[in-house]
Structure 1
């Protein structure tokens, strides 16, 4: 593998009102992202990540069983298969975050990882599921209504260009999984998100660079843009970025525009940073046993 790898982070608005049927959202969003993936390829991207549940609005702002119809099987659902064909055509790796259905009615917030030859490498299921109200109109991050917690651990995928780990949105507040991804050899961790201005915006450029520094890898954070009706709970503030293992921002997106952000991973830097700081050598796992036993 080459030492330098170009990363494409896709942030986009959802331009169909949430009152529309699920299939209207999916069709429009998929068509938009097919174009944006091609744009990323034209700009040199080799690994491309889309935003959290990219093919529609962030419907978790309400609790409505209508949105269960957005879920698909992975990898046998139509969206995964479509993007497998695209990845093979363009020779790119795609991190594809979609709403997953297992069996009759079990649901996860999942990202499928597709290699540059179009093969399906596996999936990551979001581990940490928020469920909090915001404001006085019944809106909130009602994710436990839609998703079970992930049960596949923290896999690292050996793609054609780099070893890739995935976190999804709220996971970013928990350093434990971020460390596991580093221990398993991740060279870049991608975090597809859907987060609005206000409560945690100040953490957006704080927590994830800290994960990159503490664990000696690159981290790509992806957030959608715009406001989404009928909820209009807040502005999705974009600012998708790639940060290096020293905490430097390599590339940063705008706050309010559909955009393909391109940044470059330098694997030599990963080795240099890990050789310098030796955090993995100096950690003391035998002293951390009580962490999993302590209650809040």
Structure 2
């Protein structure tokens, strides 16, 4: 058995006025809980240090850049790294990254138990739009503030497991999990900030939105025989609700732990990485069963094409 005790550190709302330091204190409190429950790895949400600022339309680049981190760790986050290092807990969390050459990404990082960053991922599937949209109930401007990720879907051998990362909307795309699966992933670390309301179809409702979130993670886990840890930032941020639904899914697609609130909440499960092996050597033995001669369309076009009438 290769068991890692995984903590999913769901976070409640972060208001626009909340400082990075105040948020980090909340993250450390969750890490304290994780230590008391013997966690080896703790996963925090997407954009864990700030409110979900892409809901705000901004034209002043200095105002936009306020929400971005120029280095990691930095003065605000070093206490989190120090506490994780003291506890011997590996962590993963998301933040807005401003690179030295001026590029903006929606980023997640992974550390080892020594607090050293061993992996970085930049969100590939950016939802939303670029300009102010009068047809939406509220704005979702990720395409305005971020570039599509340029690092691809990678994995890292970390603390006895093959780990990969993705962020929010990535979880809805089967290509995300399959590329990670083809690299032998055993543990997918996934943070998200998902509005409770569909800005383009308000009638959809929270129940359906939670269902689709869970469906995508369960399918990705099962079809690639991997653990998936999906962790939300939830609750009402400056009047805008984000859904919870944080969960841990096993390599057979079953939910084994799930958050019950939209607040700061730690979910924990002992995850045996060896449970991935059966699926990877039977129904999803890619070497034996994949038929790549028929998959070329997946990487040769983006939009769907229909047969002529």
Q: What TM-score, normalized to structure 1? A: 0.90
Partner of 2:299: 292
Partner of 2:157: 158
| Alpha-carbon distance between aligned partners in 2 of 1:236 and 1:279, rounded to the nearest angstrom | 37
Q: Is the 8 A contact 1:72 1:101 kept in 2?
A: yes
Give the Cα–Cα distance (whole angstroms) in 2 for the partners of residues 144 and 5 of structure 1.
Answer: 36
Q: Are positions 1:25 and 2:32 aligned together?
A: no
| Residue pair 2:226, 2:251 contacting (<8 A) in 1 also | yes
> Contact between 2:73 and 2:81, CA under 8 Å: does it hold in 1?
no
Structure 2 regions of 5+ residues with no counterpart?
199-208, 304-309
Q: How far is 1:78 from its partner? A: 3.4
The whole-number CA distance in structure 1 between the counterparts of 2:188 and 2:194 is 18
Question: What is the total number of aligned residue pairs between the two structures?
Answer: 287
Q: What are the Cα deviations for residues 101-121 of structure 1, in whole angstroms up to 9, with x where unaligned?
A: 112531111011111012221
Give structure 1 stretches of 5+ with no counterpart. none
1:263 to 269, 277, 284: 269
1:36-63 deviations in Å (ceiling 9; x for gaps):
1121121121111111111121111112
1-side partners of 2:79 and 2:101: how far apart? Answer: 22
Match of 1:56 in 2: 50
Residue number in structure 2 paired with 1:71: 68
- Contact between 1:222 and 1:240, CA under 8 Å: does it hold in 2? yes
> Does structure 1 residue 278 correspond to structure 2 residue 287?
no
Query: In 2, distance between residues paired with 1:246 and 1:84?
Result: 33
Q: Note the aligned Cα RMSD (angstroms).
A: 2.0
Confirm or deny: 8 A CA contact 2:8 2:44 kept in the other structure.
yes
DSSP 3-state at the match of 1:205: helix
Distance 1:174 1:69, change over 3 A: same
- Are residues 77 and 265 of structure 1, via their aligned partners in 2, closer, same or farther at CA, if it must alter by over 3 Å? same
CA shift, 1:261, in A, is: 0.6
Q: Give secondary structure in 2 for the equivalent of 1:105.
A: coil
Deviations 1:47-90 (A, max 9, x none): 11111111121111112242421212344533554433222211
SS in 1 for 2:184: coil
Question: Residue 129 of structure 1 contacts residue 149 of structure 1 at CA under 8 Å; is this kept in 2?
Answer: yes
Give the one of 248, 253, 266 matched to 2:254.
248
Residue 210 in 1 paired to residue 219 in 2?
A: yes
- Contact (CA 8 Å) 1:157, 1:163: kept in 2 or not? yes
